Amino acid sequence: MRVCVRVCVAVLLAAVVGLAGCEPGQEVRPPRPRPKPTGELSGGRYLNRGLGLFWSQPAGYRPWRPEEGQDFLFGWRSVDGKIQVRLWVLAGEGSLETAARGLARSRGWRLGPLRVISWLGRRAVDAGLTAGERAGRLRVVAAPAGRLAVAASTPAAELAVRKAAMVAVMEGLRLIPPGDVLHTVKRRAETLALVALWYTGSARSWRRLKDYNHLRSTRLSPGQEILIPAELVWRAEPMPPWVLGLSRPPAARGRKVPRGKGEESAPDLELLPTGPK
């Protein structure tokens, strides 16, 4: 008799568990944050080799590291505190849409319609978010190290005027490619500063390229090969011809560069999307 009772109880428990798992409208469980690989601030960038990513520091922003009890990995806060951008690393379970909804639900955010986009050369989802008196955007992208979630917010009343700067900070995040990028010089007008500008986002990186490639001179010639270190690569696509027009400011274009003046006289141009200076 006792055996029969135990069997019946076990069957009933299994049935209840099964029904609970199939209940319509079941809540999306928040994704589990993954262990936080340590990162470092170096040369105006947050570099995390364990995750294979870096994040350039925007002008007018301060680093934001999590305090006790906070589960985000790293972030940036504007000096005036109006814009806040944070990065999470989530367990790679379920779809990107599920991960985005789960993260939002665990923090009490309301999400707008999710859109499937391409970001960092990978599939991602993007949506507007509201959190009390703040509003912004959430992006979740599939990366080799897991799901990366980036959320940015600003006072809702100022979203219209701060949206562009807010999204620019999000887009400063970059994945480190699996190897150095090889650039072959195709035109005589190419300079080391322009190569640095295109691939690293800043013309000021030309010194790093010179040292990395053991160059005696900064002058380039067609057919010459330049390696861009993987940890500096902000853009991996080949450099287009229109970049040559950025070698000098508009007021100086057409003037001859004095002899003896090389990359040292190049303007400090940047293509990094770090918002207004």
Residue 17 located in a structural domain:
no
Q: Is the pLDDT of residue 153 over 80?
A: yes
pLDDT at site 3: 47
End position of a domain, from candidates 158, 175, 192: 175
Same structural domain, 136 and 44: yes
Same structural domain, 160 and 186: no
State how many domains the chain has.
2
Same structural domain, 65 and 135: yes
- Share the mean pLDDT of the chain: 83
pLDDT at site 4: 52
Average pLDDT value for residue range 175-199: 94
Residue 3 located in a structural domain:
no
Q: Structural domain of residue 261, as residue ranges?
A: 181-265
Average pLDDT value for residue range 53-64: 94
244 versus 150: the higher-pLDDT residue is 150
Q: Is the pLDDT of residue 38 over 80?
A: no
Residue 159 located in a structural domain:
yes
Q: Which of 233, 80, 74 is nearest to 155 (CA)?
A: 80
Residue 55 located in a structural domain:
yes
pLDDT at site 274: 47
pLDDT at site 37: 63
Q: What phi, psi does 157 have (nearest 5°)?
A: -70, -20
- C-beta contacts of 126-132 below 8 A and 24+ residues apart: 127/100, 129/104, 129/153, 130/156, 131/107, 132/108
**Dihedral through CA 114, CA 118, CA 122, CA 127, nearest 10?**
-20
Residue 220 located in a structural domain:
yes
For residue 261, CA distances in Å to 55, 123, 193, 264 come to 32, 45, 13, 7
Same structural domain, 90 and 161: yes
End position of a domain, from candidates 119, 143, 175: 175
CATH number at residue 47: 3.40.1000.10
Residue 137 located in a structural domain:
yes
Same structural domain, 75 and 110: yes
Same structural domain, 160 and 202: no
Residue 277 located in a structural domain:
no
Residue 158 located in a structural domain:
yes
> What 3 state SS string does 99-167 have?
HHHHHHHHHCCEECCCEEEEECCEEEEEEEEEECCEEEEEEEEEECCEEEEEEEEEEHHHHHHHHHHHH
C-alpha atoms less than 13 angstroms from C-alpha of 90 in its C-beta half-sphere: 28
Q: What phi, psi does 202 have (nearest 5°)?
A: -145, 130
Same structural domain, 235 and 187: yes
pLDDT at site 13: 45
End position of a domain, from candidates 126, 150, 175: 175
- The pLDDT-based confidence of 271 (bands split at 50, 70, 90) is low
Same structural domain, 216 and 230: yes
Same structural domain, 138 and 230: no
Average pLDDT value for residue range 109-131: 96
Same structural domain, 205 and 87: no
Q: Are 75 and 84 in contact (CB under 8 A)?
A: yes
Same structural domain, 111 and 154: yes
- The pLDDT-based confidence of 266 (bands split at 50, 70, 90) is low
Nearest-angstrom CA–CA distance, 149 and 154: 17
Same structural domain, 151 and 78: yes
Tokens linked to 132: 């009390």
pLDDT per residue as tens digits for the range 3-21: 454 545 454 444 444 434 3
- The pLDDT-based confidence of 28 (bands split at 50, 70, 90) is low
Q: Are 124 and 96 in contact (CB under 8 A)?
A: yes
